[in-house]
Structure 1
């Protein structure tokens, strides 16, 4: 007879990126607990503690990536909003086509009357955050917010194309604080060294 102290359910509890207001955690927990309790009783495994790592569910909606529109143009009939953030700042869309809502932060109350492809400044065809995004009419200088980037956002960011990473800012009501400073060019090369056997 085996008595378990713990059952580790692992991770993988995500969020609804296309409907951030939807939350089925209670339904999920109820279904899971009913199934587990029945099987634990059938197998006489005792009263193990359940352990799991909720991952994205805890942190995904804690962060946004705020980016400014550098310019708007049409390419082969498609309307593009090209922003100053790039795939190095947020890899998920370029890496595996992850979906993230994008809103016009400074025009949030205006109707979404046009569709834009939203891309970055990096010389890669995959430097695209999303296509066919419904937004108000966008102009140079507008601010776009890419939502739910708290999971795998900063941890997957990098300095590709010699691009310094942006700062991280914490908001709590009206309180604002920088919790990770933005990088400068000097930070990109601070670890580089020239061996003394190379002639200058």
Structure 2
């Protein structure tokens, strides 16, 4: 790390009257299942804290260690309890600050996915089932890339069940395709399911994080509703979008209004090849 560059950045921040320099932050990645990377990251940041104290007299008030704690998506994932990460983070921060003669700053963590990721389930209705003999069977659903871009963006993997046939034996292997005309609009490859038919409900598990927050109106598809289910009660917390919602902010310029449009067309020469 280049301490001269860091020193210059901290010094400039301290000089601005409209900025209050609080401390440092790192983000180490996502879906992390070990804590040693946090230990190493903290050791390096405390060295920076010590240098900034010695060079500029800057006392770090806050230290944000980010998040990235892994959750369960598919069988290879082995999530750890929050204590596994926090004990290593807090112990290392205290020990390193003590060794460097620094006051312990406020430690901030961002465990968003760990809190909400496994709580979410996305429900799709099965549409067309297309079997290509000797190759694969595609099962289309009424969603996909717009409501969950993660598989298309970076090959994120999910588990799913056919909710209305969850107690039936798994008879076939299918690939779940979204409704957009995109090669990458595949939610799940090679999913084992019961005999699936149009109208079945596919429940994709563990979609509580980085799904609705990353959703878009790609291909002009309205976003789905979000329902909170708890203790046998259910309530809509985000309403389903309509096509009217998609058009709500669109406007027709005055010069394209009927009267002026007819006048403009008369002045135009249109060539059809």
* TM-score in terms of structure 2 length: 0.67
d(CA) in 2 for partners of 1:26, 1:10: 15
Which one of 118, 121, 130 corresponds to residue 64 of structure 1?
Answer: 121
Q: 1:29 to 1:143 in 2, by over 3 A?
A: same
1:73 is aligned to 2:135 = no
Cα distance, 1:167–1:189 mapped onto 2, change above 3 Å: same
> For residue 81 of structure 2, what is the aligned residue in structure 1?
24
Which of residues 50, 66, 74 in structure 1 aligns to 2:107? 50
Q: Does 1:13 align with 2:69?
A: yes
Residue 165 of structure 1 is aligned with which of 205, 218, 223?
A: 223
Q: Secondary structure at the match of 1:66?
A: strand
Q: Give the whole-Å Cα distance in 2 for the aligned partners of 1:160 and 1:144.
A: 21
Shift of 1:75: 2.9
The structural deviation recorded for 1:191 is: 1.0
Alignment of 1:1-200 (within 5 A): 2=53, 4-19=60-75, 22-75=79-132, 77-200=135-258
Indicate the structure whose relative CO is greater, using CA pairs within 8 Å and at least 6 residues apart.
1
Check the 8 A contact 2:70/2:79 in 1, yes or no.
no
Residues 108 and 21 of structure 1: is their aligned pair in 2 closer, same or farther, counting only changes over 3 Å?
A: farther
Structure 2's unaligned 5+ residue stretches are: 1-49, 54-58, 259-273
Tell me if the contact between 1:78 and 1:116 (Cα under 8 Å) persists in the aligned partners.
Answer: yes
Do the aligned partners of 1:14 and 1:54 also contact (CA within 8 Å) in 2? no
Bigger Cα Rg: 2
- Report if aligned partners of 2:94, 2:104 keep a CA contact under 8 Å in 1: no
Task: Report the RMSD for the aligned CA atoms in angstroms.
Answer: 2.1
Q: Distance in 2 between matches of 1:170 and 1:24?
A: 24
Corresponding pairs, count: 200
**Gaps (5+ residues) in structure 1?**
none
C-alpha displacement at 1:4, in angstroms?
4.3
Q: Deviations over 1:104-135 (max 9, x none)?
A: 11122223232110011211011100101122
* Higher helix fraction (1 or 2): 2
Tell me if structure 1 keeps the 8 A contact 2:71–2:78: no
Check conservation: 1:18, 1:99, Cα contact below 8 A: yes
Distance in 1 (CA, whole Å) between partners of 2:79 and 2:67 is 20
Between the aligned partners of 2:236 and 2:89, the Cα distance in structure 1 is 40
